[in-house]
Structure 1
Amino acid sequence: MSSFEADPEVGLPAPATVELLEGAPVALGGPRGFAVTRTLPNRRRRMVGAWCFLDAYGPHDLADSDGMRVGPHPHTGLQTVTWLLAGEVLHRDSLGTVQEIRPGRLNLMTAGRGISHSEETPREHTPVLHGVQLWVALPHAARDMPPAFAHHDDLPVVTGDGFTATVLMGTFAGATSPADCHTPLVGAEITLAPGPGSTLLLRPDFEYAVLALDGAVVVDDTTLKPGPLLYLGAGRDSVRVATGSASRLLLLGGEPFEERLVMWWNFVGRDHDEIVQMRADWADRTPRFGEVRGYDGLPLPAPPMPISRLVPRGRVR
């Protein structure tokens, strides 16, 4: 999920910088695993605010499939954000949490110093699975905090001229999510009605990106369909969006994240030696990551460490 070159330091992106970031196909669990499209980290841009990872999947027809089956695996230094448009996912973690998530509800797991979890399609499920999973990098002050899990089933919903928005994290259109944030950021699912378009108000000190979840959306002068992530840059106070048919998009934003990170496998750290220790703790089954109980399958093994040392990098290439 990353390469290992060093990166130059970068400042605040120029206003209204637009980049179309193509996604990479990834099979979770191996070549025959569950198919997702990964747009963060990207070869050109690794983060949007503190958002450092974005997998989109579906809609998948589960009639002839086991659906999602991701065995127990560890995380450090991040929050996982699970959001569904259709279907169900069953989460288990080493804190003892067993929580099914459905559309309109948010699962937020804060790894902190270390946690492990599994994700799977429950035995009883609807026929289609469609959703996203994101990671939020924790800043230095919070990265070693105790692990935690929260499920939010009553997120704020706001309406504007031609749109309805559900606020997953942070604040949008005057509504604030109850989900815990450790850096200034925002995540919102926005449903657009067909028509002349809507103006979404933004914070100039945030950088933003948009992912089409279904349908086709014109974002300023760019037509966006599901697949790529459209990076909008910083310095904006608004963006114009329009659609010819009902569509949904995911708006992500946040203050540019200035700390340099090492992202390797499921870990977010600050240097090579930290990652080596994290991997060893998982391989040796130390108490750091606990144990996930109830999943019918084996934990995921950590891949081998690369030959070269992992190098901390900034948010852009």
Structure 2
Amino acid sequence: MSNLETDSRESACGGLADVAAEPVTEVLAGRDVVLGGPRAMRVTRTLPNRNIRMVGAWCFVDHYGPEKATMSVPPHPHTGLQTVSWLLEGEILHRDSVGSEQLVRPGQLNLMTAGHAISHSEESPAEAALHGVQLWVALPSAARETAPAFEHHPVLPELTSPGVRVTVIMGELDGLTSPATTHTPLVGAEVALEAGAVISLPLRPGFEYAVLALSGAVRAGGTDLAPGPLLYLGSGRSELTLRAEEACRLLLIGGEPFEERIVMWWNFVGRSHEEIAEARQAWAEGSRFGEVHGYDGDRLPAPALPSVALKPRGRVR
């Protein structure tokens, strides 16, 4: 999914100020967001958060389901980011303006790199149980004007042991590297644990990390975690011990602290108010973002810009 809020708020993110340079445990409550429409889906958004705006280059996390629902997200634009679609249950059809049409199923990765500009739609083929997570990765300046691209990875590297399965979605973990394209040092992994299982994952002290429970209950680094909030772990850790209180699945994200300040508004990631306004105007005029073919419906109109200039103010803690 994408940000469908009509009253879209500015998020000023990035920069090294206030990045925890040591291990911390901050439980960040998410907020419920309804994605519009007569049968609107409800998601829990934990990034950006009032206290933590980014975890490495990860700048947006929506967790939805499990629920019986129909997803229908009209064509809409993106700039300056990658979208990461990960399902636990159900299936979603992706179409975009570079001509991609791809069904994603549980355990598969759909990765879209917006770069200079792309548009896409997302819909479930029929009303069915849906459970998944949508994440965005902010692109650094060296990559954010790149040509748009799409990748589908049906098979990803896995680490298995009794009662444990770790799937490396993005980046590298414990010697396993995902085939997905990355532009900054980061990691995204799903960890599935049977009841009573324990694993200690090796971490990079220079990365900051966070954990999101997707189902079940887990004890992560000494903190009990259930679906809902995001557990921010800071940096300076060389390992993370996970202990399943019951069968569970969770998402681990991390990366080098993102050095650049960004402005995130609606579905755009930029560096200034003027850049965001230019992207919005291009979408309103029907230029720059191409066309999505095959979606039965109108494209999504952009909300109005706020009355004050958007400013990249760095992280807010």
* TM-score of the two chains, using structure 1 as the length reference: 0.94
SS across alignment from 1:275: helix
1:119 equivalent in structure 2: 122
Name structure 1 gaps, 5 residues minimum: none
Matched, 1:25 2:32: yes
Name structure 2 gaps, 5 residues minimum: 1-7
- What is the total number of aligned residue pairs between the two structures? 310
Alpha carbons of structure 1 residues 40 and 5: separation in structure 2 relative to 1, 3 Å: closer
**Residue type matched to 2:83 in 1?**
T
SS across alignment from 1:280: helix
Q: Distance in 2 between matches of 1:198 and 1:145?
A: 38
Q: Distance in 1 between matches of 2:19 and 2:98?
A: 38
SS across alignment from 1:278: helix
Matched, 1:60 2:67: yes
For residues 30-41 of structure 1, the aligned pairs below 5 Å read 33-41=40-48
2:165 equivalent in structure 1: 164
Contact 1:258 1:315 in 2 (8 A): no
SS across alignment from 1:17: strand
1:202 equivalent in structure 2: 203
For residues 67-146 of structure 1, the aligned pairs below 5 Å read 67-123=70-126, 127-146=128-147
1:310 equivalent in structure 2: 310
Q: Distance in 1 between matches of 2:203 and 2:298?
A: 44
Q: 1:45 aligns with which of 30, 52, 61?
A: 52
Q: Distance in 2 between matches of 1:281 and 1:229?
A: 35
2:148 equivalent in structure 1: 147
SS across alignment from 1:310: coil
2:299 equivalent in structure 1: 299
**Residue type matched to 1:105 in 2?**
Q
Q: After TM superposition, give the deviation of residue 195 of structure 1 in Å.
A: 2.2
**Residue type matched to 1:142 in 2?**
A
1:183 equivalent in structure 2: 184
Q: After TM superposition, give the deviation of residue 314 of structure 1 in Å.
A: 1.8
Contact 1:2 1:41 in 2 (8 A): no
Q: After TM superposition, give the deviation of residue 221 of structure 1 in Å.
A: 2.2
Q: Distance in 2 between matches of 1:110 and 1:93?
A: 11
Identity %: 61
Q: Distance in 2 between matches of 1:8 and 1:79?
A: 19
Contact 1:29 1:70 in 2 (8 A): no
Q: After TM superposition, give the deviation of residue 182 of structure 1 in Å.
A: 0.1
SS across alignment from 1:48: coil
Bigger drift between 10-19 and 225-234 goes to 10-19
**Residue type matched to 1:186 in 2?**
V
Bigger drift between 113-122 and 188-197 goes to 188-197
Contact 1:6 1:311 in 2 (8 A): no
**Residue type matched to 2:86 in 1?**
W
Alpha carbons of structure 1 residues 8 and 48: separation in structure 2 relative to 1, 3 Å: closer
Alpha carbons of structure 1 residues 5 and 57: separation in structure 2 relative to 1, 3 Å: closer
Cα deviation 1:85-116 (Å, max 9, x = unaligned):
00000000011111000001000000000000
Q: Distance in 1 between matches of 2:214 and 2:11?
A: 31
**Residue type matched to 1:298 in 2?**
D
Contact 2:11 2:265 in 1 (8 A): no
Cα deviation 1:187-245 (Å, max 9, x = unaligned):
00001122262211111000000000100001122111111100000000011111132
Q: Distance in 2 between matches of 1:100 and 1:178?
A: 18
Q: Distance in 2 between matches of 1:201 and 1:23?
A: 27
* TM-score of the two chains, using structure 2 as the length reference: 0.94
Contact 2:14 2:260 in 1 (8 A): no
Alpha carbons of structure 1 residues 281 and 99: separation in structure 2 relative to 1, 3 Å: same
Q: After TM superposition, give the deviation of residue 154 of structure 1 in Å.
A: 1.0
